């Protein structure tokens, strides 16, 4: 089996809710010497993206989606210890969370894993995070970057509220703000004055490194 085929099989195993097979294939990827981050991006995340689409098409319902995400997490558990942690002398400090009112955290967790793998220090506030907490924690941890995730249109305005709070306290310049999640777009990011928007976890790391010239 070549790499491309293996990634396809991992993505299929997630979609087919095959926890054991997902684990087995992730182990195989390590034996083949494939970098863990590549298997996460090209196998596990691809699979979960397809699951999201199947849900939208009403082929899958929530119980199926949750079993798929269990399979993805089993795979992540195998791969995470093998992620090459980037070694950075003064790692960026990142505060990340899902905005108030929203409990979808699968995507946020993936962004966190990829950020940690890049060598950044990540403070995870979890999901359904009170908006004020983003500001408080960023100040307390002396963070460089605030990352916010949301999957629902109804909770998107919370991202703007956080930026407004930073402005009110005259500390907006201290932090970069990065946003992401299903309904979020570059246009929305521009409208609310966020600094960085990306569509996926891997791109998120690339853009952060670009912005900080790393």
CA distances from 28 to 59, 69, 148 (A): 30, 20, 34
Among 12, 64, 136, 200, contact with ligand B12 (rule: CB under 6 A): 200
Cα-Cα end-to-end distance for the chain:
36
Specify the residue, 57 or 173, whose C-beta has the smaller distance to ligand B12: 57
CA 161 to chain centre: 21
Among 11, 39, 144, 149, contact with ligand B12 (rule: CB under 6 A): 149
Residue 61: partners with Cβ closer than 8 Å, 6 or more residues away: 55
Which tokens in the block code for residue 128? 């359904």
Query: Is residue 190 part of the contact set for ligand B12 (CB under 6 A)?
Result: no
Among 161, 182, 209, 214, contact with ligand B12 (rule: CB under 6 A): 182
Specify the residue, 128 or 139, whose C-beta has the smaller distance to ligand B12: 128
How many chain residues are in contact with ligand B12, going by CB under 6 A? 35
For CA atoms 64, 151, 48, 59, the dihedral sign is positive
Specify the residue, 1 or 126, whose C-beta has the smaller distance to ligand B12: 126
Q: How far is the CB of 31 from ligand B12 (least distance, A)?
A: 26
CA 113 to chain centre: 7
Specify the residue, 29 or 198, whose C-beta has the smaller distance to ligand B12: 198
Query: Is residue 115 part of the contact set for ligand B12 (CB under 6 A)?
Result: no
Among 18, 100, 102, 124, contact with ligand B12 (rule: CB under 6 A): 102
Cα-based angle 165, 170, 174 (whole degrees, multiple of 5)? 95
Query: Is residue 106 part of the contact set for ligand B12 (CB under 6 A)?
Result: yes
């Amino acid at each position: 089996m070549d790499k491309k085929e293996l990634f396809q099989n991992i993505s299929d195993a997630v979609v087919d809710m095959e926890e054991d097979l997902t684990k087995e294939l992730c182990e195989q990827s390590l034996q083949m010497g494939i970098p863990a981050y590549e298997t996460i991006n090209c196998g596990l995340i691809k699979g979960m993206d397809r699951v999201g689409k199947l849900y939208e098409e009403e082929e899958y319902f929530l119980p199926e989606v949750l079993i798929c995400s269990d399979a993805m997490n089993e795979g992540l558990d195998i791969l995470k210890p093998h992620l090459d942690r980037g070694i950075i002398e003064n790692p960026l400090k990142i505060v990340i969370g899902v905005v108030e009112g929203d409990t979808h955290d699968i995507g946020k967790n993936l962004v966190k894993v990829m950020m940690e793998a890049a060598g950044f220090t990540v403070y995870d506030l979890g999901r359904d995070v009170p908006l004020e907490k983003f500001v408080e924690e960023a100040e307390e941890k002396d963070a460089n970057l605030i990352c916010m995730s949301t999957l629902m249109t109804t909770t998107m305005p919370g991202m703007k509220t956080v930026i407004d709070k930073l402005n009110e306290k005259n500390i907006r310049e201290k932090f970069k703000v990065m946003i992401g999640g299903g309904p979020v777009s570059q246009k929305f990011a521009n409208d609310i004055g966020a600094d960085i928007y990306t569509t996926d976890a891997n791109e998120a790391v690339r853009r952060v490194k670009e912005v900080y010239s790393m």
